[in-house]
Structure 1
Amino acid sequence: MPFQTERLTLRAYNGDADLDNLLRLYDDALVQPSILLAPLKPLSPAYKEKLQKDMDNITFGAVIALTSTGEFIGQSVLNIPEPKNRDASVGICLLPEFWSRGYGTEAMLFTVDHAFRWYGLHRVSLTVWAVNERAVGVYKRLGFVIEGRKREAIWMDTKWVDILSMGVLRSEWAALHWGEQAQSLRPIEHV
């Protein structure tokens, strides 16, 4: 069953066509430096095997498509490595031709809200390169705060770049996005 936002459909991965699209996403010269720590290089078709394994091992993963056309535009992922702590890492990634249209904000809003409502999480975390000012701005507007900075951690395009750790707590998300509903929320005891 796919999920829908105002303009987007977030659906399960569906075979080779999605793996081809994910390879195209990860192999894009504008996308790759912001999601992979390795040096920029062309990815071979064999990289699809790694993508498949990654998709099989995440808590929540979805292809992001335009609802109006079904066109692939990116992916959204949520991983809960230690359920006891109810802390997930989240990430979205879009093809460059879909940047600056609000799709990333819409996908992140859905994914984080879904994480708190359906997985009973206490917090959601992410890492972002400090030079990705557009993404940092989106995360701040959604309620994430900078919790740490790893200085000069990545060599990127002839310079050192900081990695930011950001997070949002369930109570902060509820106050910002759920309004009056937030007042009636009781703590969740189990994941």
Structure 2
Amino acid sequence: MFTTNRLLLCPYTDADLNDLMRLWNDPLVQRLATTDELGPRGPRFKNTIRNHMDRAMFSAIIRLKETNEFMGQMTVHVLEQKNRDGTYGICLLPKFWSYGFGTEATQYIVDYSFRWLGLQRMSLTVFANNDRAIAVYQKAGFVMEGRKRACVWANNRWEDTLFMGVLRDEWIVRLSILQQ
């Protein structure tokens, strides 16, 4: 288990599946985290969750250190080992939004991924209307790399998807500035 100031980053186990189902069945989470059809996820979705967590180079259940309460999950997938490009994903239950928990977890995993996983870059995608998440990623050093226009049907309109990334060299510079 890893810790930050306020968070526990715990290994995923099957005992977490009900909490993860609650997370992925939350309509607010679905609206901001998936391009799939929105709607209730049934018991078979547990296999999707299991596969997603198990295939990740790094996966963690996020818990509040103070109470051990389930907050969400995070993953880093590396599809091409040769290129050392990690794809980052995080989801928190809405009751934990806007308190800096996402920033704390994201800054930790960026540091961990460059320091211990040996990645060259971290990548992610985010919906253009998700201002809260974009701010979190920018605080962790991610920069805008591209935009796929009108590619996701959500909220009765077309939404853009943004591509963001942070490079190892940028992280090193940022780390040295923060330590001064």
TM-score, normalized by length of structure 2? 0.96
Q: Counterpart of 1:30 in 2: which secondary structure? A: helix
Equivalent residue for 2:13? 14
SS at 2:5 equivalent = coil
Q: Counterpart of 2:60?
A: 62
State the identity %.
49
- Residues of 2 paired with 1:126 and 1:43: CA distance? 24
1:14: Cα distance to partner?
Answer: 2.2
Matched, 1:111 2:113: no
**Any residues of structure 2 matched to 1:79-158 within 5 Å, and which?**
79-158=77-156
Unaligned runs of 5+ residues in structure 2 are none
* Structure 1: distance between partners of 2:94 and 2:178: 37
Letter in 1 for 2:14: G
Q: Distance in 2 between matches of 1:68 and 1:77?
A: 22
CA RMSD across the alignment: 1.4
Does structure 1 retain, via aligned residues, the 8 Å contact 2:103–2:139?
no
Alpha-carbon distance in 1 for matches of 2:105, 2:4? 8
Q: How many residues align?
A: 180
1:111: how far off? 0.9
Max Rg structure: 1
How far did residue 68 of structure 1 move?
0.8
CA deviation after TM superposition for structure 1 residue 136, in Å: 0.7
Residue aligning to 2:32: 34
Between the aligned partners of 2:176 and 2:8, the Cα distance in structure 1 is 22
Partner-residue secondary structure (3-state), 1:76:
strand
Residues 180, 136 of structure 1: alpha-carbon distance in 2 compared, 3 angstrom cutoff: closer
Change (3 A) 1:56 1:34: same
Q: TM-score, normalised by structure 1?
A: 0.90
Give 4+ residue runs of structure 1 displaced > 3 Å after superposition: 178-181
CA contact (8 A) 1:33 1:39 kept: no
Residue 145 of structure 1 contacts residue 168 of structure 1 at CA under 8 Å; is this kept in 2? yes
Q: Distance in 1 between matches of 2:123 and 2:97?
A: 22
CA distance in 2, matches of 1:141, 1:53: 30
8 Å contact from structure 2 (residues 110, 140) kept in 1: no
